[in-house]
Amino acid sequence: MPGQATTEVTLSPDSSGEKVPIPTLERLTTYLRSLVEMRATAIETVSSAEIERSTGINAAQFRKDLSYFGEFGKPGVGYSVTELENRISRILKIHELQPILLIGAGNLGAALVGYPGLEEHKFHIVAAFDNSPTKIGRRIGSGMEVLDFARLGEINAGVAARMAILAVPQNAAQSVADVAIAHGVRAILNFAPVLLRVPRHVIVRNVSFLQELAVLSYHLSESGGNGTSASGADKRNEENRK
């Protein structure tokens, strides 16, 4: 159970001294989304069984996930929607604006700047960079000017962002990451299909459309022309209506 070979942060993930599994963190956003919806519908209290119904995530899983961070509910009653929402936001550090640098202002970069969910969750793209003269000076999203990538250091000295989104071509990704890291970036969301080599204190998450499509493609061929069903894709996609 406790420490083994790995890096071991042991900064107390919150209450218990246990390391929080990544899948747990991923699910927290799902709970959050559900809670926001419930609040919008003026629902005040929610049980783990109701969370299961609305998110597809097992109720025991939900309770276990929360247990890494303390106690949140009242036995026999459930959870306060607003309180739980607040606490999860704090756990994920998205209760306050989180400044982010966007590097790469192509189609994908533009899509991200315009993505409505970001601001809603307090993720704030504070600057967009590109190194192409045809893009520098143009505006993407709702009026954000694309800056010369060469100015990243100068700009980040002011805004002090620790997160960056890399939406650059494969061959540029590593060198761009190096520069970003040199100027204080410590967490990278990488859209380029490359293994980024980074110092130990930097965290990288990769998003790969191709990977997702390939998994679908495989299952499509597996379940054959007939409908044998491929057991669970990702979530629990049972249920139908209509």
* From a second copy, DNA, none, interface partner of 118 (C-beta below 5 to 8 A by class): a second copy
Q: Which is nearer to DNA, 73 or 184 (CB)?
A: 73
CB of 129 to DNA, least distance (A): 34
Q: Structure tokens of 86?
A: 């607040």
| Contact between residue 100 and residue 162 where contact means Cβ atoms under 8 Å apart | no
Round to whole Å and give the CA distance between 242 and 34: 23
> Taking CB under 7 A as the rule, which mask of x and - marks residues 14-53 in contact with DNA?
-------xxxx---------------------xxxx----
Round to whole Å and give the CA distance between 46 and 33: 13
198 binds a second copy (CB under 8 A): yes
98 binds a second copy (CB under 8 A): yes
Give 136: exposed, middle or buried? Use CB within 10 Å, 0-12, 13-18, 19+: middle
Q: Structure tokens of 188?
A: 């990278």
Question: What is the number of H-type helices and E-type strands within the chain?
Answer: 9, 9
97 binds a second copy (CB under 8 A): no
* From a second copy, DNA, none, interface partner of 40 (C-beta below 5 to 8 A by class): none
**Quick one: which segment of 38-46, 78-86, 146-154, 198-206 binds a second copy (CB under 8 A)?**
198-206
**Quick one: which segment of 42-50, 74-82, 147-155, 201-209 binds a second copy (CB under 8 A)?**
201-209
**Quick one: which segment of 39-47, 58-66, 78-86, 199-207 binds a second copy (CB under 8 A)?**
199-207
Round to whole Å and give the CA distance between 34 and 36: 5
DSSP 238: -
What's the per-residue H, E or C state across 60-81?
HHHHHHHHCCCCCCECCCEEEH
The binder of a second copy chosen from 75, 76, 117, 143 (CB under 8 A): 117
What is the DSSP track for 33-62? HHHHHHHHTT--EE-HHHHHHHH---HHHH
176 binds a second copy (CB under 8 A): no
- Which CA distances in Å does 177 have to 9, 133, 172, 226? 24, 20, 9, 46
The binder of DNA chosen from 11, 40, 77, 210 (CB under 7 A): 77
Q: Structure tokens of 46?
A: 């929610």
The binder of a second copy chosen from 50, 72, 83, 94 (CB under 8 A): 94
The binder of DNA chosen from 29, 30, 54, 67 (CB under 7 A): 67
Please give the helix or strand (H or E) that residue 178 lies within, else none: helix 170-182
The binder of a second copy chosen from 97, 150, 159, 195 (CB under 8 A): 195
* From DNA, a second copy, none, interface partner of 112 (C-beta below 5 to 8 A by class): a second copy
Footprint of DNA on this chain (CB under 7 A)? 4-6, 21-24, 46-49, 57-61, 63-64, 66-67, 71-79
